[in-house]
Structure 1
Amino acid sequence: MIKVKDRKLLLLPGDGIGPEVVREVRKIIEWFNKNKSLDFKIEEGLVGGASYDKHKTPITDEVFYKALESEAVILGAVGGPKYDNLEFSKRPERALLKLRKELKLFANLRPAICFKQLVDASSLKPEIISGLDIMIVRELTGGIYFGEPRGIEPIENNERKGINTHTYTTNEIQRVARVAFDLAKKRKNKVTSCEKSNVMEAGILWREEVQSLKDKEYKKIELEHMLADNCAMQLLRNPKQFDVIVTDNLFGDILSDEAAMLTGSLGLLPSASLGARDKNGKTRSMYEPVHGSAPDIAGKNIANPIATILSLSMALKYSLDLDKEAEQIDKAVQSVLDDGLRTKDIMSKNMKEVSTSDMGDAIISKLK
């Protein structure tokens, strides 16, 4: 195999359990470097609360520029109760929002897959959840999280008013819809677009622009429009009716978390945040597990590293054109689960409970 040179991967462990799960990812990258003639240059940086503790800012310019220069960024988790009283601009989550916006990572891919070994971990009946494989595509840099004006201001009678603006343009809608349609072509040729066109003008625009793109460029893709609140209900009633769901920033935040919990554990699910391809076909990207920083279990070596390891798999597939290696990781994870190894969050009767580091080592043993 030809050596892959000068591919920079930036690891941002972050807060809580982030350093523990990212440590296992680093071990796997180093294994690929040693055994598969890959030559990734691994860099690490502080982000979130860890960065604030040292530098009084959730992300330094140095770390941000490292992210700009990297082929892919792999992030652990940010935040925790100790930072809840910081002013808004200093909170750990602002680092995440800055990376998404400044790297122009407009499309968030959130798979919700029910592993066959863990059907019983879901709160839904096995016949409803078994075989579930949904991809949610969430618009990530527009909508109510970034719209202006925003803020908190005083009004009469000694009261205050909070303002957030929900706004979208044709380009913002169509570029994320294009990602969803392209993914659907590799899956089941079906897209469900979700908005609130019954009460929001931005929802009407969303529906019209997604439909317009489908009619012009994706005639063979089946497109269904669904109100976001109905989609939330349908995810619980009959989740296997969906394949690819595309939606805005706010509804995508909510629906992707709901879909993730259908599978039984947030500790198993990765995500990708992608930007547009440049003239050389490269795209900026960031990969992270969908779980949070879980400060209550931080430092105990009991967190589930699988979601972060599968985030590395997504990075190999979507940013580094290493589909074979990505599939190797996916199969290793499946094999470890087949062997009955479980971290505490997915432990069940007659299985063997293992630590964070043991799970990482077991996955590496399957790669061998």
Structure 2
Amino acid sequence: MLERIPYAGHLPAGFFSLAEAPYASLPFAPEESAAQVQQLLTWEAARHDIIIYTDHRHLRLVGLFPHHGDAAYFGFWETTDDAALNAQAFGLLAADAARFGKTTISGPLHFSTYHRYRLRLGPAPSWQQFDREPVNPAYYPALLHHAGLTPALTFESRLLRAETVPRVYLEKNPALELLPQIPFDFIPVTPENWALLADDIFQLIHEIFSLNPAYQPVGRAQFDLLYNPQYAAKLCPHSSVLFRDRASGRLAALSLCHPNYHALRLPAGESPVFARDYPRLPRKTLLAKTVGVHPDFRQRGLMDLLAAYAMRRFQTYYEEIIFCLMRADNYSLRFTDGLAVETAHYALFERRVN
């Protein structure tokens, strides 16, 4: 029997174990920390009504209803392949959205784009999974279509294989030659530099991404839960960089990249460390994860220059690269246009509230 449970500080028994069954036969699974989920719900309960829909065996779904605005969201959705059960759950969510005065339902999105969101579409790519990639059983999108949700925003990840890398160097050589001449200092993103510049990095990331669809600001404590010196320790120190404008002293751009550690199957809760884990990787694949330029410094070619910075030593350390989770209409996609790539697709889904 499907239950509707308003969140009151604790989750139903089996909330986390229920989510394991859909992935039991798959070579990938979402990365979920029970402690982090509980902390996130505690923080966000102050500005959301939160309702859990579950039958305790086959489905969990969480409705997120911000106290302000016209949009409702769903997240923490895991389920077996049961269209009728999911239609019932999303029907209850839609009724609650109408009761709260919302006009749209979007998801999956765990409160903000800082956390897990989007579904992966189609068959699994050759790499199976990278760090924090949206992964799900192949039947998930069909269940959302059956429940009346359709893709509203689409995204891509593109794998550039080793045999294509020499062509990239030929095409991007002008940016490589220009790099030493630009009026910016290059600050490697190390745990030490992260600790020193944490306030500026927090503000820079907000300024870069705040106009993106579905973006919601988070407080510093929530940001630090995910992005901290421990996070910086897994970054590649040869490609991750902050550009600082010499004239103003302001941070102008950032590129946060790290190897795909997924093949190591580290124990739950253990964060990768580049110095320790990079040598153990059976295949050296760089993930271009978070790359952007502050609005005040755009239209100056800095995106290409960030790529050029990573290219300086790429061939020494990596065989291939995945450009991760770029919005399908994002300018960044142009970097690989015309090149032979393998592409994975993702979407954020939406429906109107009747």
What TM-score do you get using the length of structure 2 for normalisation? Answer: 0.26
The structure with more helix, counted as a fraction of residues? 1
What TM-score do you get using the length of structure 1 for normalisation? Answer: 0.26
